[in-house]
Chain A
């Protein structure tokens, strides 16, 4: 079965540093998402991306966050100046013509 690939699997950074989380969605998918899960808590929506623009974002997705699809295959989440509370597992997801979403295995971000 096709899968969503995320890199790196773990990222450790210092508070205030910029991080870029990378995702390769399933190749013929049109809808792209970022979610995050703080340890032991529920999965939370960050942003959705369709037709090369943000289609929806949550209140978590403030000016410190941005997304990009730089080359037609990768989908990235950038956090400009990381805070301690940004520590979480970040999941990329993609969807095709039907509503089923496929999630990647996540990037565990630790902000020290």
Chain B
């Protein structure tokens, strides 16, 4: 029940494309859903996060879509660039993010020039 399932495992897009990464959760007590970006040799860095009271949040080229009834959320990267090539993790937490983050398994994104 604590799992967060993420897909796809890897993704290759052309520059300017819109990669979409999907996550699904079971635990309805989760109330904070962040996305993290990780470059090789670095720790995860928060990209964007959403609470279940909104269905969409946009920050720059990154958009989270949230479907509470389906218990799914997804990350869209608009106008993707080679510099966006990284591993992306979705996560979920309770108590507005103070509690332990449960991470998805990660998506390795490659944006080709």
B residues in contact with A56, CB < 8 Å: 99-100
CB within 8 Å for A103 and B89 given contacts A31-B98, A42-B103, A56-B99: no
CB within 8 Å for A99 and B32 given contacts A31-B98, A42-B106, A43-B44: yes
Tell me if B81 is interfacial: C-beta within 8 Å of chain A.
no
A48/B104 in contact, CB under 8 A: no
Task: Tell me, rounded to whole Å, the shortest Cβ–Cβ distance linking A103 to chain B.
Answer: 3
| A43 CA to B98 CA, complexed, in Å | 17
B98/A44 in contact, CB under 8 A: no
Give the interface SS of chain A, mostly helix, strand, loop or mixed. Answer: strand
A103/B96 in contact, CB under 8 A: no
Task: Tell me, rounded to whole Å, the shortest Cβ–Cβ distance linking A42 to chain B.
Answer: 5
A48/B43 in contact, CB under 8 A: no
B106/A101 in contact, CB under 8 A: no
B96/A99 in contact, CB under 8 A: yes
Q: What is the interface residue range for chain A against chain B?
A: 20 to 34
Which single residue of chain A is at the shortest CB-CB distance from B93?
A: A99
| A58 CA to B2 CA, complexed, in Å | 12
| A43 CA to B101 CA, complexed, in Å | 9
Tell me if A45 is interfacial: C-beta within 8 Å of chain B.
yes
Tell me if B46 is interfacial: C-beta within 8 Å of chain A.
yes
Q: What string of 1s and 0s marks CB contacts (under 8 Å) between A90-106 and chain B?
A: 01010100011111111
| A45 CA to B103 CA, complexed, in Å | 8
CB within 8 Å for A99 and B97 given contacts A42-B106, A43-B89: yes
A42/B98 in contact, CB under 8 A: no
| A101 CA to B35 CA, complexed, in Å | 11
Q: Which of B43, B89, B91, B106 is close to A104, meaning CB atoms less than 8 Å apart? A: B43
CB within 8 Å for A106 and B46 given contacts A31-B98, A95-B98, A99-B97: no
Q: Which of B41, B89, B100 is close to A48, meaning CB atoms less than 8 Å apart? A: B100
A-B pairs, top 9 by smallest CB distance, nearest first, are A99-B97, A103-B43, A45-B100, A43-B103, A42-B103, A42-B105, A91-B43, A103-B44, A105-B43
Report A's interface with B, CB cutoff 8 A: 4, 31, 33, 35, 41-45, 48, 56, 58, 91, 93, 95, 99-106
